[in-house]
Amino acid sequence: MIKMAAFDMDGTLLLKDKTLSVKSIEAIKYLLSKNVKVIIATGRPNTLLKEYVNKLNINEFSVTCNGSVIYNHKNSEFLYNDTINKATTKNIESYLLDNNIDFLAYEKDYVVSHNSGPRHLFYTDRNKTLPIEDQAQFYTFEDIKKPIDELSINKILVVEQNKEKYAKTVEFLNKFDNLYVTQSKEDFIDVGPTGNSKGNALDILCKYYNIDKSEVIAFGDQMNDVSMLKFAGIGVAMGNAKQAVKDASDQVTLSNEEDGVFHKISEIYNL
């Protein structure tokens, strides 16, 4: 019997245009009606999740920043909140700035960057289409007037399209024994404090709710989803997932554009 269902967002629950399909919303509502704990498990920070949590009316904790944070948007409660060592954030920032590599730093309440790069502009432009209560908080370091090593950073998102620079950056980051380095999208490097992952966060939540991992189903498509797909009793890879993700899963469903989440939930519950 499924008691908890965990969903990645981008490439899984969301369509390419970053919206929820009618079928995805229907699947979540059905699970909620069956008293299943619906958990969003994403690499996004809290502030970039508000519009979806509000639309889906999810009252449970969400896993954000690839497991560095477990947060409930409804009551602003943190069950778990881990941050990158401050000296390490400074070392990472120096390397990225020296090599002209774009990045965003995720604090528990906002996102901060050094410039208005493509990712910053994408989300600030998207903000303009959303009601105030759903808008994400984006700032530059100039806005907040604090250096990165005075902030409590849950995750650093590195964005680099040049394959050689990407590989060298991963090599640099992997030298730190206090970092968890993974990937949530092509050209992205997700950096967080060591010991954290979506799988670890689901383990914390299972203990909190007294749910056995055999009663958990999880959906994902990228390398940062592998830990929770392996942890869950049923790990489901999306049809659009990387092959390594499919290999780590128990089952494969249709792609996000084909409403793979709804398809699998319908199959399980005979909808």
pLDDT digit string, tens, across residues 129-174 = 888 888 888 888 988 899 999 999 999 999 999 999 999 999 999 9
β-bridge partners, 71: 62, 78
Strand boundaries in the chain, DSSP class E: 4-7, 37-40, 62-64, 69-72, 77-81, 102-107, 111-113, 138-140, 153-159, 179-182, 188-193, 216-220, 234-237, 251-252
Q: Could you give the C-alpha distances from 173 to 95, 108, 179, 180, in angstroms and in order?
A: 10, 22, 7, 9
Residues 43 and 33 sit within 8 Å (Cβ to Cβ): no
Which range has the worst mean pLDDT, 19-28, 72-81, 115-124, 166-175?
A: 115-124
Structure tokens at 107: 């604090």
**What residues contact 207, with CB distance under 8 A and at least 6 apart?**
none
pLDDT at 20 > cutoff 70: yes
Q: What is the mean pLDDT of the chain?
A: 94
In this predicted structure, what is the pLDDT of residue 116?
Answer: 67
pLDDT digits (tens, 9 = 90+) for 78-104: 999 999 999 999 999 999 999 999 999
Residues 218 and 187 sit within 8 Å (Cβ to Cβ): no
Which range has the worst mean pLDDT, 112-121, 146-155, 250-259?
A: 112-121
Q: For residue 248, name the pLDDT band (cuts at 50, 70, 90).
A: very high
Structure tokens at 221: 């498509």
Average pLDDT in the 233-250 region? 97
In this predicted structure, what is the pLDDT of residue 114?
Answer: 85
Residues 195 and 181 sit within 8 Å (Cβ to Cβ): no
pLDDT digits (tens, 9 = 90+) for 186-207: 999 999 999 999 999 999 999 9
**What residues contact 162, with CB distance under 8 A and at least 6 apart?**
none
In this predicted structure, what is the pLDDT of residue 193?
Answer: 98
Q: Could you give the C-alpha distances from 218 to 163, 188, 237, in angstroms and in order?
A: 30, 22, 8
Backbone angles phi, psi at 72, to 5 degrees: -110, 115
Structure tokens at 173: 């980051």
